[in-house]
Amino acid sequence: MMKCGMCNVKWGMGAFVLIASLVAFAPAVHAQQNSDIDAVKKRAELNSAKADLEEARKKRDMAVAARWKDRETANQERELFNEKYQENKEKVDALMSERARLFEDVRVAREDLAQVKLSAEKARAEFLSLAAGPERLETLAKFQESGVPFKVAERVEVQNKAKKEMSLYRDDPLRIAKSVLEVAKSEMAFTRETKVEKADLMFGSSVAQGDRMRLGGLYALQMAGVTDINGFHPSAMMLPVAGEKKRTFSWQENLSTETKAGIAKVFANVNDSAFVMVPVDVLLSTELSSELANHTETTWKDDFKQFFKDGGILMYPIAALFVLGVLMFLWRFAWLAKASFGRISARRVHKALFDRDIEKAKKLSLKCYGVVGKTLRTVLCKDYTDRASAEKALEVLFAGEVPKLEKGLSWISVFASTAPLLGLLGTVMGMIELFDVITMHGTSDPKLLAGGISIALVTTEAGLIVAIPLQLLHTFLVNRADALRTRMEKSALAVLNAIWIKEKSEV
């Protein structure tokens, strides 16, 4: 609008200038009237164009104003939109934060749920593990296999009932535990039963009436009511025997006289007494049971022969070492006893030397025997010019006599140290043989293995039996030889000091 006003002012000023020019130059204007008419026309056209231009400017200004108004409206709308956008964005951000929090809560809840499920599964597994499995019954079934074969059908039926409950009520450990306890109680009741009854008894291929006794699942015996041609009642004991895979029980009738008498005494007193002695092997050992059924009295000679036989071929060199060691000891003991003979005379010689009576000491030394007397005579019975000569003579004597004192002692020590080594060798050989047997036949009978190991250790026992006394005998002889050598040294020192110290005192 300001621009259009300025234009009008300019146009007014131009008109004024134009009029002044016309007044000043009237003649010229008149002269140029014709040309001015054209100018007026042109001016009119120009004014019309100015008017059109002014109208166009007005329209333009109105359009610009409308545009500015529209722009202001658009700016207001934009500001309102931005406010709403920012508000909605804050709401969306809050919703996203809430969504993230909810997702985190869901994740934590899922982890907690997984942990709860794991704990539940673990608790369920622990709960189910409380239920006894068939292996519990297998442990109880071993009593049937290792005990006397009585009431087998009833005991098997009880265990089968417990197995059936294990399969049907697996989720009820308490009921399964009660079933297993019932089986255990029935087995314990069976093992505690002591039953005596009349029955038809089998002895070989014959049947006889008699008495039968059972002591739980451990032992049983029977005796016929009639006597045989020897005056004994036919008797039998149910004893364990070694089988191919496990230990089994069987009636053994080949009993010793003492065992038959014991069985007869048991059945005679069982109805009248509350306490009877029963011949029974409580360890259920096949070897001990065999000895109980076929026991025979043996002497110490028989035991020694069996011991020597169990040791094997190495028992001969061990015995030879013992014999040689004892002979060597007897020989050296006799020699040392002879070498130390005449101890009383030596004391008298020492007393005479202590009293400075050299002549008496010479006479007594002639009656003194052994190596000590020889030591005294070496100095007293010869005239030496000085002490050094006498000491050299004693050194020669000691060099010849001391080895004789120790002669043969090292052999006894060798025998004592070799005997346990031979015993250990025999044990190793026996263990190798035992392992070969285990490889071929397995370990079905632990008692049999224990017996094999005990036999393998016989040589070690024999070696120690030989080594210990030989070592003691060797120590005894060494101490005796050391004592004799010490006496020789004391005697030599006493005679040297007595002679030369006396000579120095006389000088």
Question: Pick the residue with more confidence: 53 or 365?
Answer: 53
Judgement on whether residues 108 and 237 belong to the same structural domain of the protein: no
Judgement on whether residues 380 and 492 belong to the same structural domain of the protein: yes
Judgement on whether residues 466 and 360 belong to the same structural domain of the protein: yes
Answer whether residue 491 is part of any domain: yes
Q: Which two tokens stand for residue 346?
A: 């030596």
Please give the single-letter amino acid code of residue 265. K
pLDDT at position 297 is 52
Question: Pick the residue with more confidence: 344 or 220?
Answer: 220
Judgement on whether residues 151 and 183 belong to the same structural domain of the protein: yes
Contacts of 397 (CB under 8 A, 6+ apart): 374, 375, 378
Please report, in angstroms and rounded to a whole number, the separation of the first and last CA atoms in the chain.
172
Span 427-450, average pLDDT: 69
Residue 6 — very low, low, confident or very high, per pLDDT cuts 50/70/90?
low
C-alpha pair distances (Å), 307 with each of 237, 291, 325, 455: 29, 16, 21, 9
CA–CA dist 462, 314 (Å, integer): 10
CA–CA dist 260, 266 (Å, integer): 10
| Backbone φ and ψ of 194, nearest 5° | -120, 110
Span 300-308, average pLDDT: 78
Q: Tokens 């969504």 sit at which residue?
A: 99
Residue 1 — very low, low, confident or very high, per pLDDT cuts 50/70/90?
very low
pLDDT digits (tens, 9 = 90+) for 435-444: 776 776 666 5
For the cut 90, the answer to whether the pLDDT of residue 472 exceeds it is yes
Answer whether residue 166 is part of any domain: yes
Contacts of 322 (CB under 8 A, 6+ apart): 415, 419, 466, 470
Answer whether residue 395 is part of any domain: yes
Residue 118's SS3 state is helix
Residue 322 — very low, low, confident or very high, per pLDDT cuts 50/70/90?
very high
> Do 395 and 496 form a contact (C-beta atoms < 8 A)?
no
Residue 408 — very low, low, confident or very high, per pLDDT cuts 50/70/90?
confident
Residue 92 — very low, low, confident or very high, per pLDDT cuts 50/70/90?
very high
Other Cβ atoms less than 10 A from the Cβ of 324: the count is 15
For the cut 80, the answer to whether the pLDDT of residue 136 exceeds it is no
Residue 205 — very low, low, confident or very high, per pLDDT cuts 50/70/90?
confident
Answer whether residue 174 is part of any domain: yes
Of 403, 397, 364, nearest to 380 (Cα)?
A: 364
> Do 230 and 261 form a contact (C-beta atoms < 8 A)?
no
Return the ∠ at Cα 42 (arms to 37 and 43), rounded to 5°: 95
Q: Which two tokens stand for residue 74?
A: 């658009």
Sign of the Cα torsion 292, 298, 301, 305 reads negative
C-alpha pair distances (Å), 180 with each of 142, 157, 176: 14, 13, 6
Looking at the 3D structure of the chain, how many domains does it have? Answer: 4
What is the residue range of 159's domain? Answer: 134-191
In the structure, how many helices (H) and strands (E) does the chain have? 17, 5
Judgement on whether residues 176 and 109 belong to the same structural domain of the protein: no
Please give the single-letter amino acid code of residue 442. G
Residue at which a domain ends, from 125, 158, 179: 125
Answer whether residue 377 is part of any domain: yes
Residue at which a domain ends, from 237, 264, 284: 284
**pLDDT averaged over every residue in the chain:** 76
pLDDT at position 3 is 45
For the cut 70, the answer to whether the pLDDT of residue 447 exceeds it is no
b/e string for 284-313 if b means 16 or more Cβ within 10 A? bbbbbbbebbeeeeeeeeeeeeebeebbbe
Question: Pick the residue with more confidence: 106 or 354?
Answer: 106
Judgement on whether residues 225 and 271 belong to the same structural domain of the protein: yes
Residue at which a domain ends, from 142, 171, 191: 191
Answer whether residue 99 is part of any domain: yes
For the cut 80, the answer to whether the pLDDT of residue 111 exceeds it is yes
C-alpha pair distances (Å), 76 with each of 67, 79, 88: 14, 5, 18
Judgement on whether residues 346 and 495 belong to the same structural domain of the protein: yes
pLDDT at position 505 is 45
Look up the pTM and report it. 0.44
Judgement on whether residues 351 and 270 belong to the same structural domain of the protein: no
Span 356-365, average pLDDT: 67
Answer whether residue 389 is part of any domain: yes
Question: Pick the residue with more confidence: 307 or 244?
Answer: 307
Question: Pick the residue with more confidence: 363 or 418?
Answer: 418
> Do 330 and 349 form a contact (C-beta atoms < 8 A)?
no
Judgement on whether residues 152 and 89 belong to the same structural domain of the protein: no
Give residue 181's region: left, alpha or beta (phi > 0; psi -120 to 50). alpha
Judgement on whether residues 390 and 358 belong to the same structural domain of the protein: yes
For the cut 80, the answer to whether the pLDDT of residue 105 exceeds it is yes
Judgement on whether residues 148 and 280 belong to the same structural domain of the protein: no
Judgement on whether residues 185 and 200 belong to the same structural domain of the protein: no
Answer whether residue 12 is part of any domain: no
Span 78-93, average pLDDT: 91
